[in-house]
Structure 1
Amino acid sequence: MLASSTALYTVGLGWAQQPRDQLKEPVFRVTKRIEPEQRQAEHPLDRAIQIAEEGLHRIRTQVSDYSCTIVKQERINGELPPPEHMRALIRNRKIVDGGVQQPLSVYLNFLKPDAVQGREVIYVEGQNNGKMVAHEAKGIKAAFGWVWLNPDGILAMQGQRYPISEIGIENLVDKLIERATRDRKTDPQALSTQVRYIEGAKINGRSCLVIEVVHPVQQPQFDFHVARVFIDDQLQVPVRYAAYTWPSTPGGKPEVDEAYTYLDMKLNVGLSEADFDYTKKAN
């Protein structure tokens, strides 16, 4: 873990923008000799999966809500548009005794680029017949006011990879665990998987641990060439995910496929239903 610059749209799996990461630490390797029968238990992705699972548990048990600025950039149909900036309020889903006590709730206010500035989007899981509500602040569409859209529909998904129902750090970590587990299964001997752990990287001046996964050779079972997850040292939650495709030309640089950055994140700020009520927002 939306639409074109003139259409209403949502945001997916969380983290954007693309700081130029100059990460040159040596690739993580197990120092002792690994016998064939040990390879399954000592895969380099094991530590990454463990960190992610512990992080997911922490988010689900200790994080009720948060505010942040999301910077998002996704390659769509081979094209990489400029990053989008949006102010976000998010309440995490809370399950109690098998029932949803607190639904996933999302409010987005778009800041950049100029064409979408002022756009607002609200989504509350399980309410409003499963629809999101949005309005434009500029152009002819602003005259329509708030418009209800299916999050998975053509209008909401135009130019987007993920529906708004998949936004947020919880959904992001859940998806990363799924991908890492799949990569571990498809490459059990780690012949095409390298992992390194880099301390002291900075996102917006905040110190982070970076988990970098590299698949050197392009193969159909892998979604990316390089992926980097930045975990804030203090908050202990991911604040950036970026995935890069294989170079389009031999010897070229990896190209951004998708990137999501969570800036100025504040946890447990005490959001209420009123923060996700479109009737209380300026139109």
Structure 2
Amino acid sequence: MSLPARLFGVTALLIVAQACVAQELTSPVYRVANDQTAPQPVAGPPVRTASAPAGATRPKGLENSPFNIYEVPGEHPLMPCLRLAKQGLAEIDANIQGYSAILTKQERIDGKVGDPQQLAIKVRHEPFSVYVKFIKPFAGREVLYNSAKSTTKLTAMEGSGLYRRFGKISLPVDGRLAMHGQRYPITMTGVRFLTEELLRIGTEDIKYGECSVEYGVMDIGGRPCTMIKAVHPTPRKNFRFNIARIFIDHELRVPTGYDAYSWPIEAGGQPVLEESYFHTNVVLNPGFTDADFDENNPNLFK
């Protein structure tokens, strides 16, 4: 399943050699030809999303999950995920104005998997705004995006070192400096964006077969979460990943974790990590004001 790992795309503002232990990766040697697409599945009957229809069953592994996840005979394996994502998006829009969290992320960029990064983040949904303070590495680095001020620029400042003397600088959100060392721009941050992408990509994926889905309940950061694992066993041009997993917090009812893996480099090898994003210490609706996303706030960019 192509679950774009877009829980967060933060901004590195300087071209500084990032000291990280990295793994050099190459393209898998046994991939099928890129012009081969997965076969179409047998179309299933329309499914109501409000409640489980007659004949629906609950997948294995969800005995302790609070979510209304069910399968209908003959439908694509991703359909339960799409129904859950639609419900989740509606709940986010109705109930969540913003949140704060500690984000731990790890990404493969230019064939290398970098060291984990840990960041303190604040996200506001309307107007969409993101504030980031790096914990490690690059401790003290700050990044701010406020769509009410600009939809194309962000403000950033280093926490220490030579470039600290330049103070706050404005950068294009998708420019070379802002994207250095990042897979995604800051505008793709957050649980709402992730949920929208699940719907968009999942809607494309159900056009094809070669997909299996597993479910379970796992503790993430000491909190029970429902785990959804989607697997595309055969590399195809229409699939982004071999394996993708999403973790939905039982109490918060939002996806707090996500990771994705590409196909093994060689036959019999292990899937290769592409991206991983996990949120801990999540606080929903902490009562943000405009000052929390104001670059002139004396408590920011100190």
Give the alignment partner of residue 90 of structure 1, picking from 107, 119, 123: 123
What is residue 196 of structure 1 aligned with on the other side? 214
User: What percent of counterpart residues are identical?
Assistant: 38
TM-score (norm 2): 0.76
Structure 1 pair 129/56, CA: closer, same or farther in 2 (3 Å)?
closer
Residue pair 2:13, 2:156 contacting (<8 A) in 1 also: no
Say whether residues 1:123 and 2:123 are aligned partners. no
**Where in structure 2 are the equivalents of 1:1-283 lying within 5 Å?**
1=6, 2=10, 6-7=14-15, 36=42, 38=44, 42-92=75-125, 102-113=126-137, 116-128=138-150, 130-185=152-207, 187=208, 190=209, 192-199=210-217, 201-280=218-297, 281-283=300-302
Structure 1 pair 117/5, CA: closer, same or farther in 2 (3 Å)?
farther
Structure 1 pair 133/83, CA: closer, same or farther in 2 (3 Å)?
same
1:224 partner amino acid: F
1:107 partner amino acid: Y
Structure 1 pair 3/63, CA: closer, same or farther in 2 (3 Å)?
closer
1:142 deviates by 0.3
Residue ranges of structure 2 left out of the alignment (5+ in a row): 1-5, 17-40, 47-73
Show CA shifts across 1:131-180 (max 9, x none): 11000011111000000011011110122221111101001111121111
How far apart, in 2, do the equivalents of 1:233 and 1:78 lie?
A: 35
1:274 partner amino acid: A
* Structure 2 residue matching 1:197: 3-state secondary structure: strand
* Structure 1 residue matching 2:257: 3-state secondary structure: strand
How far apart, in 1, do the equivalents of 2:151 and 2:85 lie?
A: 33
1:196 deviates by 1.2
**Cα-Cα RMSD:** 1.9
Residue ranges of structure 1 left out of the alignment (5+ in a row): 9-34, 93-101
Structure 1 pair 251/5, CA: closer, same or farther in 2 (3 Å)?
farther
Residue pair 2:100, 2:286 contacting (<8 A) in 1 also: yes
Task: Say which structure is richer in helix.
Answer: 1
Residue pair 2:174, 2:185 contacting (<8 A) in 1 also: yes
1:111 partner amino acid: I
How far apart, in 2, do the equivalents of 1:235 and 1:81 lie?
A: 29
1:7 deviates by 3.9
Stretches (4+) displaced over 2 A: 2-8, 35-41
Structure 1 pair 3/87, CA: closer, same or farther in 2 (3 Å)?
closer
How far apart, in 1, do the equivalents of 2:124 and 2:192 lie?
A: 10
